[in-house]
Structure formats: C-alpha cells, structure tokens
C-alpha cells in the first residue's frame, strides 16, 4: 500500500493528545458501511487531556460512557450530546491517561453523494462535515462505532496517512464551547480551509457543565 494511503499505527496515537491532534490534520478518515464508503480529510481537531483537563469527559474518572478512553490508544470514542448529536474522538496516550482528540471538521474527498444524503438536504461540499456533529453524520457514525479499533484491519473505520499540511499552515487557539479549561489553546486547524468550523465561546447553560472529550 502506498505510504500516503497506509493506516496509522497504534504508535502514532500512543503520545499525548496535544501532540497527536495537530499531527492528525490532513489525515484521511475512511468509514465503510453496507451502503458505501465515505472518506474525509481532517481539517480541524481538539485535544483533551483526561484527568488533567477539566473540559474532558475523563476528568472525574472512568464511567460506562467514557470507558473506551481508559483503554488502548487508537480506539474510537463516540458520545451522544445535547440529546441530538454524536461526536467522535480518537483515544491518545497510554491507557491510564484517558486523553483523546475530538474530530471537529473535514473535507469529504470521496463518497460526497452518500454524505450529502445523510445530511438530509443539499449542501455545499465545504459544509458536509463542517463541525463535529456534521462530521459524524457525513461518515455515518453513531454509538455503534464506540470502542472500535481504528488500528485494526478488521474495523469499518480507519485513519490513513494522507498528506499533513506544512507546520506554517497549522493554526492553534482556544477550544470551542467548553466551560472549563477554555484557556487551553488545544484546538488545531488548517489555516484558511473552508471546511473549518467557526469558533464559538461557551454559552452558559443552567445547571450544566460542558465537556467535549
């Protein structure tokens, strides 16, 4: 298999999330389903540092919901949020750290018609996966993928090498919509890419603390 299409190995993910996150930009997500395959080039991600990060789902320890985060790096963590959306993460670092990278946005490079049909209405190509909920819709991801091993040849979801952007084209800034740890500049994106989602500060919700991964 050509290097640009080879799957990322577990060693790639066995690093701190803040190192893995920018290195995922430009990599290609491949999601296989009976109805077809969608491929997506990552353009925006966010890092979450587990028990050391108050914005992380793992901050207060393991639960049935976040158990995947405490396992091997390279696995997929999918959660349901606000009663309506799925969001997807890739687990990073050694198991006890429970860190992860939220996949925020990307460019659909193959399977655009299938991705568009999942969105429900005609969309500009740049909007098909512009935001974490849209990304999972475009790829056909739900909780059934939670725990999948992205480093295993038998999984319906893989991450391929792709072509990472030059370091000068990677921007870094605060994470989107988190109440705690908002000052951490752990959101990374490809500068000027039209598929990157807009930055939004956290909007307080009564009796709720927002966490992303």
Residue 202: its pLDDT value, please? 57
Residue 49: its pLDDT value, please? 87
Residue 96: its pLDDT value, please? 76
Q: Which token pair is 105?
A: 């946005």
From first to last of its 213 residues, the chain has per-residue pLDDT tens of 566 689 999 999 999 999 999 999 999 999 999 999 999 999 999 998 877 877 777 777 788 888 898 899 999 999 998 767 899 999 999 867 889 999 999 999 999 999 999 988 766 889 999 999 999 999 999 999 999 999 998 889 999 998 899 999 999 999 887 777 778 899 999 999 999 998 877 565 555 444 556
Residue 118: its pLDDT value, please? 93
Q: What is the dihedral of CA 62, 11, 20, 77, to 10 degrees?
A: -40
Residue 205: its pLDDT value, please? 56
What is the spatial distance between Cα 45 and Cα 77, in angstroms, rounded to a whole number? 14
Q: Is the dihedral of CA 16, 28, 157, 133 positive or negative?
A: positive
Residue 177: its pLDDT value, please? 75
What is the spatial distance between Cα 67 and Cα 46, in angstroms, rounded to a whole number? 19
Residue 189: its pLDDT value, please? 97
Residue 188: its pLDDT value, please? 97
User: Could you confirm whether domain 3-190 is CATH 3.40.50.1000?
Assistant: no
Extents of the domains making up the chain: 3-190
Residue 210: its pLDDT value, please? 46
């Amino acid at each position: 298999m050509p290097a640009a299409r080879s799957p990322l190995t577990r060693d790639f993910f066995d690093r701190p999330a803040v190192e893995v996150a920018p290195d995922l930009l430009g990599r290609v997500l491949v999601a296989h389903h009976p109805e077809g395959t969608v491929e997506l080039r990552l353009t925006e991600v966010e890092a979450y540092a587990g028990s050391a990060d108050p914005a992380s789902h793992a901050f207060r320890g393991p639960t049935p919901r976040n158990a995947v985060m405490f396992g091997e790096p390279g696995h997929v963590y999918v959660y349901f949020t606000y009663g309506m959306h799925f969001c997807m993460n890739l687990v990073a670092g050694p198991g006890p750290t429970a860190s992860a990278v939220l996949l925020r946005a990307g460019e659909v490079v193959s399977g655009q018609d299938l991705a568009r049909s999942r969105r429900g209405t005609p969309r500009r190509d740049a909007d098909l996966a512009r935001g974490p909920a849209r990304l999972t819709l475009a790829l056909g991801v739900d909780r059934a993928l939670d725990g999948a091993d992205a480093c295993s040849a038998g999984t319906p979801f893989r991450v391929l090498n792709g072509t990472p952007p030059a370091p000068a084209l990677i921007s870094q800034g605060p994470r989107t919509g988190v109440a705690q740890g908002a000052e951490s500049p752990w959101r990374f994106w490809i500068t000027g890419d039209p598929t990157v989602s807009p930055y939004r500060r956290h909007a307080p919700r009564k009796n709720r603390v927002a966490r992303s991964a």
